[in-house]
Structure formats: C-alpha cells, structure tokens
Structure 1
Amino acid sequence: MDNPMLAERLDAFAALLELNGSGFYTTRAYRRAAELIRSTPADVASIVRAGRVRELKGIGPGIEARLRELVETGELSELRELEAEVMPELVGVGRLIGLSPTRMRELGTALDVRTLAALREAVAAGRLEGVRGIGPKTAEKIRAGLTGLEDVRPRRGVLLSRARALGGEIAAALEGEPAGDPRRWCDLSSRFAVVVRDPAALDFFASLPQIVSVLERDEDRAVGVTVEGIPVEVIAATPESFGTVLVHATGSPEYVASLGPLPERATELEVYSSIGCPFRPPELREVDAADPPPDLLELDHIRGDLHMHSTASDGKATVLQLALAARELGYEYIAICDHTKAVRVVEGLDADGLRRQAEEIGAVNEELAPFRILRGSEC
C-alpha cells in the first residue's frame, strides 16, 4: 500500500470518527498523520514494517496500530465498522440538503437503508410518512432535496485549511488540478471542482474514500458528495481545452462571466493572452476582470516573524538556530516569545530563565548584527 493510499484511508477514518462524536484533537491527529504520510518521500509502508513509524512526528501508538493493520491486511476493520454505524453516504447527502447527521442516521435505521439509491426508492414508495418524527414539512424537505440534489448548494462551507487539503487529496488521487473555491483560497469553500485530462478518472472517482455518493455522471463530468455534505465536480477536459476548462472551474462565476467568451486553449496563460487580459492568480478572481487587481503579498515581502518558541519551552530549535534559519530566509528580525511558568500546558520559563534568555539573545544579536532578535514571552 503506497503513501497516497495510506493517507486516504486515514482521512476517511478521521471523517467517520468526527461524525461518530470523537473529539476534535483525535480527528485532527489522524488528518495530520495523513498529511505527513502524503508529504513523506520515503515509503511509509516499509517504515511501518521496520517498526520505525513512531519516529515520524505526530505518529502515536494508536495511529501506528492502524497503519500496521493497513499495511499487513490492506484493510482497516474499524473503518468498516464505522461505515456501518455512521452511514456516511446518508450523512453526506443529508448535510447537503440541510438535515443533521443524527436525523439521517435515524432515517436510515427506520427505513433500513444505507445508500442514496435505497433512500430514493423508499421515498418514492411513500415510506417516509411512516417514520416516527418525520412530519409533513420534513418529508417535503427530503423529497424536494432529493429531486434537485445535483443543483443544491450546501448551507455551510468548509474552512480553508480543510478545503485545501480535501481538494488537493481528490485532485492528487485523480491526477488532476484542483479548482473551485479552494483554489481561490476562499475562507469558506462550498464549491469544489477538479479538472482531469483522462476521462477514466471519472470511473475511479466513485471509489475515493472522500466521496460517499455520486449524484450525477455523464461522459465528461461527474458530481459526488463528501461526508461533509460538500458537492465535488470532476470535469474531463481535452488537452486543447484544459486551460479554458480550468478557468471556468476555478471561478468565481461572476469573474468568469466578466471575461466574456473564452476560446479553447491548453493553458490558463494562453487563455488570458488570447483575450488580451493580464493573467490573474486564482485568489484574485473574485471581482470584475475590468477592475485593476491589488498587489499580492509575496514571500520576499516578509521581513520577519514576531512569534517564535525556542527549546527553552516547547520549540524545537535554540535561539541561535532560529536566528540563523530566519536570516537564511532573508528575514531582518524575529521575536522569541517562549512560554512562562504561568502557562501550565508546557514547562515554561521562570524569572531567572527569562533573564538568562535575555543574555543569550543579547549575545546572538551582537554576533549576527544587523539581524535583530526581539524579546517577548507568552504568559
């Protein structure tokens, strides 16, 4: 089992744990482990077999045990058990149409259904009226939602960090390019899209652990829904039209409309060049194309970092190491703000420790001038 597959299984497990009421920190630990595995160049399965996976930062005994089961058997028994208990397909669809996970699980149990197709059959057969707690208004809401499911916009979006990770995971699995709201770095994302070059990716789409149900499918397009209740559109583009499709799929719809008719081109740069419009990065595609874009903040504009921790509390580098690394990045200054004893979550500095650190910082400032370390503390 390769790294992307291991990461996908952990992401799916995290989503189900969240639905099942597990704490924020537990689900976050599994998602961070998935991100770590996805970014690790070495083969993580080999590291697991060698008994060294705990050497990777953030991998504790619980995650290690589940990784070992995945590597040795290709399956995760708890994942199957949670799928049966949580009913992710119904939960994802329910969130999309505005019904809570609890209500959808109750509905699935009452109707003895676990899938969207089975739910639609039960609704068409008039079985909703016999479900306890489902009144006429809720029944009509379910019927209306299922009828126009492909066009429903979710009531709540996904926060940027999760949206970027989710969109990236799906795009990587399909060997495509992420688009939609996450590509524009929207604070909340409710419109996800991926543009692929190979139409065969549409067949693989339904098997992704992030997708609990496929709502629509035709020759060059598919729409699925995640367990968060977010629709994801996958579009297959020809090599000649890939750039044009990517512009449309990235949006925003208002911005794309302001560009006018777009010719088919292989890249976004070619699209912009052909219509005589300066290229805009995705995060600036929210306003009318005729409006002048603002200047973007770039990495070389950053002059310093005003909150860093050293090994004096819960950091991983010494004062000198932090200063040298920051100077290597082109920074002119940093501020070291280690925890004090007043913060009881970690071992912090007392008054004597702060004085010693002040002396250490002063010595490093003399050595590395004109680079400057500012002193602070997190109380």
Structure 2
Amino acid sequence: MPIHNADIAAIFEEIADLLEIESANVFRVRAYRNAARILQELGKDVRAMVEKGEDLTRLPGIGDDLAHKIKEIVETGHCAMLDKLHKQLPPTITELLAIPGLGPKRVSALYHELDIQTMEQLQRAVRDHRIQALPGFGEKTEMRIADALAIHASNTSRFKLAIAAQYAEPLAAWLRTVPGVQQVVVAGSYRRARETVGDIDILITATEHSPVMVRFCGYDEIAEILSHGPTRSSVILKCKLQVDARVVAPESYGAALHYFTGSKAHNIAIRRLGQEKRLKINEYGVFKDQTRIAGETEESVYQAVGLPFIPPELRENRGEIEAARKGCLPKLIELSDLKGDLHTHSKASDGHATLKEMAQAAKQRGFEYLAVTEHSSRLTIARGLDSVQLAKQIDEIDRLNAQLEGITLLKGIEVDILEDGSLDLPDWILGKLDLVIGAVHSHFGLSRARQTERILKAMEHPHFTLLAHPSGRLIAKREPYDIDMMRIIRQAKARGCYLELNATPDRLDLLDTYCQAAKAEGVLICIDSDAHSVLDFDNLRFGIGQARRGWLEKSDVLNTRSLKALRPLLKQTM
C-alpha cells in the first residue's frame, strides 16, 4: 500500500498521544507532535523523497531518528515503536483524546480508574454518571464530555480538506494516465473547498472502450469495492475515504459536473428556476420536453436558466443565485492576488527556518513582503520572545533588510491576549513594530460575555493591528470558543484594525460565513499561512478556498495590497 504524508503523520500523532498518556518526556512528545503537523501540511510527497534517496533531515523538524522512522513506515507500512507502545497500552485509547476536554492526564485517569479504553465505554460511563465521581472531573465536566461526544460522532466520518487532497489528487492524476481518458475532475464538497470532506466524487469523460473503470477498481489503495460497473464504481480506500467514480458522456459533462459538485440546496434552487422555464435539469443535461438543449458545459446549464456561471465555492444557496440574477457576483480572489504574508514564524520561536530562509522562500513565491511574527513570551511551549529578545530580532531584521533585494521583512509579533484582555508585551516594544497580531492561546472556556469582552479590550489597544485565528477552533479537535463574532467584526470596523483568515489546514479560521459578514461591514481580512517553515506557504491555497467560500474579492483582502499601499493601512491601527 502506498504511504501518504497523512498516513505517516497519523502514526506520529498516535505515538505522541501514547507517550503523553504515559507521561513521557515533554520534549520527546513535542517532537512527534510537531513532525505530525509538518507532514500533514507538507506540499512534498515524503514517499517520493524516500524512493529517490533524498535526505529527509532537510525537512523542518525532522532529525535522524524521525527520518529513520519515516523510511521504516514508507518501506514497511508500520512503525516498530508504535507496535511496542500498543503492547503497553490499548491502541483504542488514543481515540479518547479526540474528545475536547480530555487531555492525556484525564484519559490516563479514565483508563486506570474506570478501565475505559473505547468511545463506547466512555459513552456508557457518561450515561451511568460514573465519570463525575473521579477526582478532578465533576458533574460539569461530565456534561461537557457528553456534549463533545455528540459533536465528535457527527465529525468522525469527515476528512479535513488538506488530508482529502493527499488522496484525491494523486488518484485523479493516476486516472488521467489511463488510455482513452479525456477529462478527470474531483467534484463534490472538495471542489466547493469545504473545510471537511465526507467522500470524494470523481467525474470522467473517456472514449467508449477506455478501461478506466477497471483501472479505477484496481487502484492499489482500495480496501473494499462497494460496486463496480462500466460507468460507475464505488470504493473505500484503506484510509477509509469513500470514492465514487463516474464516466459521463461528453454532451452531459457540464450537467453532471454541476449536479455532483452541489450543494444539494443550490442544485434544488437551480432546478426550480428550470421548472419556471419548463425545463428539466438533471445530471444528464438540460431538457426541453425530450430534447437536450444544454449540458455539455456548466456555463450552458446556468445560461439555460438565465444566469451567469457561478463559481463552485459559492454554491451553498446563500444568496449566490440572487446575486447572479442582479449581475453582482463577486470576482473571487485568486492565490496570485496575494502580495505577501503577515503571519509567519522563524527559528527564533517555534519555526524551523531562519529569517533569511523565510525571506528567500517568500521572494520565490513572488511576494513583496513577509511579516515575521514570533510568539510572545507567555507562550512558553513555543519559545516565545520577551521584550529584550524581540528588540534583538528587530535589529536583526533591519540588518537583513539592508541586504535583501526584491523582498522586505516586516517586524511583528503574535502577542498573547491575556485573560483580562491586556497584551503580553509592554507598549514600548510594541510601538517599534510594523504590526501587532493579537491571539488567544489560553482560557478557551470563558463565558461568551467574558471571552468577547476580553478580545474587544485587546482590540482597543493602540498598537493592535490584526486578530489571529479569531474563533480559536481546531477542525475536529477543538470547538470555537464562545464569542459574539459580530461584535468582534464591528469592533474591527470601529477601530480600523483587521481580522485574519488563518490558512493552516487545522484552522481555516475565519469561518466562511464570518468572512462574508466582515466583507459586508467593510472589514479587511488578511489571509495568512501562519508558516513555521518555508514549505508552509503551500497552505495558502486552502486559505484562498475558504476566502472564496466567504465571497471575498481581491479588494476585501489586506495582503493583496502592494507594500507601498499596505504600510499606511498598518500605521492607521497604531
């Protein structure tokens, strides 16, 4: 079975989980955790690197020991260290860590005190009210676990977009090599750039005798074939992702692509427009009585009901049809519109590259500028900077800018917003920076009123520029903290500061609906990679997908401005 980056990352994540439950050395745990994150987000195929004999230690955060284990996993499909840990602890116990509020210490207590090893056992313990009797838990914690279990059950069958991409894109590329194949496109929620994907729909056009369905069912990552036919097959990959492939006639390609891209609500609305014109619209085409009048292209489907083409990311029946009728669909932002990145980290805190390496990588991507925004000192786990260390970095950036050509480093900080809304560093050092990013990294469980007031107070600070990952959510891992986002958006408008859309695949934060709300209020969004290595810039494409779902245009995004146009916008917040 071919090994993808996500497969190796999953093994390292499980090793970290089991080590943490066993109270292993925190730095050892962190090494596996960081390696898992890096591999999940890595644009390069690690398997290909191993096959070519490339030096894996050149990857950020990968030393000799981790490189050896990666090679072992690629070549054998498993890791001896994980096998050893499984003999010491039940392998299912790591599933419990997916429940918000259950850290390694609590999972360890549940296992040793109540012999809870599985989700089912945890659900029974909650139902029987046995958890609240454990020291350090209590009734409120038990209730939160019950709520989190319900949410987790609805999320377990979905894959994060970036993870789905690691499986869908190689499969689509492989199908394009099959004789007779003309077009292959991944449709469904993947094409709409939803943050999570339940399954994969692949549409194919091919010549009559193409063996594409036979080849599809012979793909070497398939665990189970659910159905197999000449024009449609359905399989489960070994990663448990379901993939449905369909061969469609060229004259129906556009109609099928529209139908299988969805969303269901959007398609129903389009069919109703067709019915008003006495047209029948389905996956085979647009029909007037028995005659097909459109369907070869998606554009022809929309034209048949009197609309211009609607981009896939907008197809959620959230006003896009009315906007199309009025001729005011947004011209959605493209990746090439970005002129820089305003949230990145270097080796000075928890990054994996030097300032110069980050600058050179940004320049290679055509950026004009790159803001270096290390963590502040309160976030000790990320080796955050204190005032003295930040002052030294400011001087270092000034010296480096004198040498660099074609790229400018901006001086910034990702400063912690403390529980009372104050910022983690004093005004004298914040005033020396080009921008100050405020971020919540603790006290996620505050009440809605307290959490909102905490952030509003931070945004009032005269040096505050940008609110990082505004909801704090980690997809399928941590729910957003409870805040009044519209008050946050309106505060940004009143203060003249900005909100971030964090492109890290685990975050994709802001939500698309809040991007749309910020646009309506005239608040600029900054699409940032939150890069911790030169390879993390690849994640900006996922941020762009989320921005497009939020109706954002080039003019709605702060870092589409040139450096000359950007500087006054940063200064107005200071």
Q: TM-score, normalised by structure 1?
A: 0.59
Q: Aligned pair 1:47/2:53, yes or no?
A: yes
Is the 1:310–1:322 contact (alpha carbons within 8 Å) kept by the matching residues of 2?
no
Q: Which residue of 2 aligns with 1:180?
A: 188
1:32 Cα deviation after fit: 5.8
Q: How does 1:118-157 map to 2 (within 5 A)?
A: 156-157=157-158
Q: Which residue of 2 aligns with 1:164?
A: 165
Is the 2:374–2:413 contact (alpha carbons within 8 Å) kept by the matching residues of 1?
yes
Query: Which of 278, 288, 291 is residue 322 of structure 2 equivalent to?
Result: 291
CA distance in 1, matches of 2:11, 2:389: 45
The one-letter amino acid of 1:186's match is: R
Q: Which residue of 2 aligns with 1:318?
A: 355
Q: Which residue of 2 aligns with 1:358?
A: 394
Q: Which residue of 1 aligns with 2:309?
A: 279
Q: Which residue of 2 aligns with 1:253?
A: 264
Q: Judging changes above 3 Å, is the alpha-carbon distance between structure 1 residues 244 and 231 closer, same or farther for their aligned structure 2 residues?
A: same
1:196 Cα deviation after fit: 2.4
Q: Aligned pair 1:224/2:231, yes or no?
A: no
Q: Judging changes above 3 Å, is the alpha-carbon distance between structure 1 residues 65 and 37 closer, same or farther for their aligned structure 2 residues?
A: farther
Q: Judging changes above 3 Å, is the alpha-carbon distance between structure 1 residues 376 and 55 closer, same or farther for their aligned structure 2 residues?
A: closer
Is the 1:327–1:371 contact (alpha carbons within 8 Å) kept by the matching residues of 2?
no
Is the 2:376–2:413 contact (alpha carbons within 8 Å) kept by the matching residues of 1?
no
Q: Which residue of 1 aligns with 2:204?
A: 196
1:231 Cα deviation after fit: 3.4
SS at match of 2:342: strand
1:65 Cα deviation after fit: 5.3
1:181 Cα deviation after fit: 0.9
1:351 Cα deviation after fit: 4.1
The one-letter amino acid of 1:163's match is: A
SS at match of 2:321: coil
Moved more, 191-200 or 340-349: 340-349
CA RMSD in angstroms, aligned pairs only: 5.0
Q: Judging changes above 3 Å, is the alpha-carbon distance between structure 1 residues 190 and 327 closer, same or farther for their aligned structure 2 residues?
A: closer
Q: Judging changes above 3 Å, is the alpha-carbon distance between structure 1 residues 357 and 18 closer, same or farther for their aligned structure 2 residues?
A: closer
Is the 2:2–2:221 contact (alpha carbons within 8 Å) kept by the matching residues of 1?
no
1:223 Cα deviation after fit: 1.9
Count of paired positions: 306
SS at match of 1:216: strand
Runs of 5+ consecutive residues of structure 1 not aligned to the other structure: 87-99, 104-152
1:144-188 deviation digits (Å, cap 9, x = unpaired): xxxxxxxxx997432333233333243234333211111111133
1:23-55 deviation digits (Å, cap 9, x = unpaired): 69869957965875855897752326xxx3444
1:265 Cα deviation after fit: 4.8
Q: Which residue of 2 aligns with 1:306?
A: 342
Is the 1:66–1:76 contact (alpha carbons within 8 Å) kept by the matching residues of 2?
no
Is the 1:160–1:189 contact (alpha carbons within 8 Å) kept by the matching residues of 2?
yes
Q: Judging changes above 3 Å, is the alpha-carbon distance between structure 1 residues 330 and 69 closer, same or farther for their aligned structure 2 residues?
A: closer
Is the 1:205–1:211 contact (alpha carbons within 8 Å) kept by the matching residues of 2?
no
Is the 2:213–2:229 contact (alpha carbons within 8 Å) kept by the matching residues of 1?
no
